[in-house]
Amino acid sequence: MCRLFGMHAGKTPVAATFWLLTAPDSLARQSRKEADGFGIGTFGPDGKPHTDKAPIAAYEDVQYAQAARDLESTTFIAHVRYASTGADTAVNTHPFEQDGRLLAHNGVVEDLDKLDDRLRQLDVYGLVKGDTDSERVFALITAEARANGGNVTEAIGTAVAWVAENLRLYAVNLVLTTATDLWAVRYPDTHPLYVLQVASGNQHGDKRTDRISVHSDQMRQENRPAVMVATEKMDEDPNWRLLDSGEVLHVDSSLTMDRLFLLPQHPEHLITLADLDGKAAASQHPLKVS
């Protein structure tokens, strides 16, 4: 199962370290089991997105790991890919960038020919550079945001609802970021997606899952608040909350969290693991780490 991570640190950029090679439970070690790609996305002082990503296992790419080790941003997004659709190439590696936004996705959407037709109707098919379902869902969100004047929350709801009503899907879990905002979607309840709000004054700074490890001395020393989203609970904090099925979570620059339910209660064409082909099914199995 692909691993997602998103973090919002508020209005002021924060320095964070994403351990790729040196941590015992690092991306480097875990990517031996999820060797289709990995990426981290941030935003510069000018608000422009930056991605560091590679379509191969982290242990094969020392240069990438060193370059991506220390990062500073107001929002962060990270992804470890286990491919369900698309070859192991750079254009198929998350996070994707469109209109100054970044997105990473975990799940499977099928009937991509129908989705391509929809993107052509909306004149955004040119945004698709690779052959993943994830980039296509992102393009649909981008089309809706362009049409509604830039309301990303509404665009996510409209786009994912269209997918739920028209396409076969197994799961659409995603994290989307800009320099000022973060969104997360869990739909339906196929895969977990957790959120944690860390208040000022709480000691924190180290967060680890079986796939992604994050450390920030600055957040600990300055007692910085933050909101984190992850496919797994990253520590023993009892305040991790599982997003509800169909929940669209929005976090703004003041770290205010809004929970919206904009999606159909059940997808019209929900499929099961048994309905997926071998590659897609393998990509959706939770992995146990020895």
Burial 183-200 (b: 16+ CB within 10 A, else e): bbbbbbebbbbbbbbbee
Sequence-separated (6 or more) residues with CB below 8 Å from residue 57: 31, 32, 34, 35
Q: CA-to-CA distance for 227 and 163, rounded, in angstroms?
A: 28
E strands in the chain: 3-8, 14-19, 37-43, 49-54, 70-73, 75-81, 96-98, 101-109, 168-177, 182-186, 194-198, 206-208, 213-215, 226-230, 241-242, 247-251, 257-261, 269-270
How much is the pTM?
A: 0.87
Neighbours of 16 (CB within 10 A): 23
- Tens-digit pLDDT string for the chain (290 aa): 677 899 999 999 999 887 543 444 444 455 445 446 778 899 999 999 999 887 765 455 545 544 545 889 999 998 775 555 655 666 887 799 999 999 999 899 999 999 999 999 999 999 999 999 999 999 999 999 999 999 999 999 999 999 999 999 999 999 999 999 999 999 999 999 999 998 865 555 566 555 566 778 888 888 899 999 998 898 888 999 999 999 999 999 999 999 999 999 999 999 998 877 766 765 666 543 32
Residue 83, pLDDT score: 56
Q: Which tokens is 283 given?
A: 């990509």
Q: Please tell me the distance from the alpha carbon of residue 53 to that of residue 279, in angstroms, as a whole number.
A: 22
3-state secondary structure of 30: helix
Q: For 262, which DSSP code?
A: -
The DSSP bridge partners found for residue 113 are: none
Q: List the domains of the chain with CATH numbers.
A: 3-105+174-261+279-284 (3.60.20.10)
State both tokens at 68.
Answer: 């991506």
8 A C-beta contact, residue 26 and residue 213: yes
User: Is the preceding omega at residue 55 within 30 degrees of 0, hence cis?
Assistant: no
**What values do phi and psi take at 225, rounded to 5?**
-75, 160
Separation between Cα atoms, residue 136 and residue 116, nearest integer Å: 8
Kindly state the DSSP code that residue 129 receives in the 8-state scheme. -
From 24, 160, 176, select the one nearest 99 (Cα to Cα).
Answer: 176
What's the rounded Cα separation, in Å, for the pair 34 and 56?
9
Provide φ and ψ at 237, rounded to 5°: -55, 125
